[in-house]
Amino acid sequence: MSLNRRQLILRSSAGLLLAGTVLPAMPAFAQSVDVEELMKPGTLPDKVLGNEDAPLTIVEYASMTCGHCANFHKNTYPHLKKEYVETGKARFVFREFPLDPVASAAFMLARSVPEDKYFEVVDFMFAEQRAWAFTQDPYNSLLNFAKQIGFTQESFEKVLTDQALLDGINATRDRASSEFGVNSTPTFFFNGNKVNGAISPEELDREAAKYL
């Protein structure tokens, strides 16, 4: 059932934004998944950096309100980008796995900026996570943050009432959970092999070396 405009904004505000997403219990999964299945297109187009022909594909499932994800993007992602993506060794695929409605709203905003600004906005969101994700008034905190990246209140509310976009983000999360056994963030797949947690640059190097 679709939400009307007011319902969705309210669901993306105040107390309801603090209500966590409860994932169903899933059967045990192997620590690797079929790469072809993992890379099949979903409802929303993937956000990708790097050469499609790179020998290593790293897929990250993240939540914008996840502190461990923010830690990875502050401390390890710059190393990944410089040493692997920009050198043609790896392709990086970033996928949504929101753990709560605040994260869903943040992903919706990131998906609504110009394509060439997407990763810049994601980086900024993680860098400033405490300013908008963990407050008593998440709706207005997120609105104030959104204004820093070019949104008006009108465009902000328009994004948060985009039911198709919300459904697409939820579909990405649900597929990751049901088909690939993702149940926490961040979760990475290195050429289909699962690695959980906010890995350090040194851990990234050790894992990447297995495929290069």
For 154-166, the pLDDT digits (tens) are 999 999 999 999 9
Range of 92's domain?
A: 5-14+31-208
At 47 the pLDDT is 98
Task: Tell me, yes or no, whether 20 lies in a domain.
Answer: no
Task: Tell me, yes or no, whether 24 lies in a domain.
Answer: no
Task: Tell me, yes or no, whether 22 lies in a domain.
Answer: no
Task: Tell me, yes or no, whether 43 lies in a domain.
Answer: yes
Residue 29 binned pLDDT confidence (cut-offs 50, 70, 90): very low
Task: Tell me, yes or no, whether 102 lies in a domain.
Answer: yes
Residue identified by tokens 């860098």 is 127
CATH number at 145 reads 3.40.30.10
**Is the pLDDT assigned to residue 24 strictly greater than 50?**
no
Q: What is the mean pLDDT of the chain?
A: 88
Q: What is the mean pLDDT of residues 170-180?
A: 96
The answer to whether residues 99 and 20 touch, using CB atoms and an 8 Å cutoff, is yes
The C-alpha atoms of residue 189 and residue 4 are separated, in whole angstroms, by: 37
The answer to whether residues 139 and 14 touch, using CB atoms and an 8 Å cutoff, is yes
Measured in degrees and rounded to the nearest 5, phi and psi for residue 196 equal -100, 145
Q: What is the mean pLDDT of residues 69-87?
A: 98
pLDDT digits (tens, 9 = 90+) for 94-147: 999 999 999 999 999 999 999 999 999 999 999 999 999 998 888 899 999 999
Residue identified by tokens 């790896």 is 90
Task: Tell me, yes or no, whether 21 lies in a domain.
Answer: no
Task: Tell me, yes or no, whether 54 lies in a domain.
Answer: yes
Q: What is the pTM of this model?
A: 0.87
The number of folded domains in the chain is: 1
Around 147, how many Cα atoms within 13 Å sit in the side-chain half-sphere?
A: 8
Task: Tell me, yes or no, whether 167 lies in a domain.
Answer: yes
At 136 the pLDDT is 87
**Is the pLDDT assigned to residue 1 strictly greater than 90?**
no
The answer to whether residues 99 and 173 touch, using CB atoms and an 8 Å cutoff, is no
At 138 the pLDDT is 87
The C-alpha atoms of residue 103 and residue 172 are separated, in whole angstroms, by: 13
Measured in degrees and rounded to the nearest 5, phi and psi for residue 195 equal -135, 125
In the numeric block, which tokens belong to residue 68? 């461990």
Length of the chain equals 212
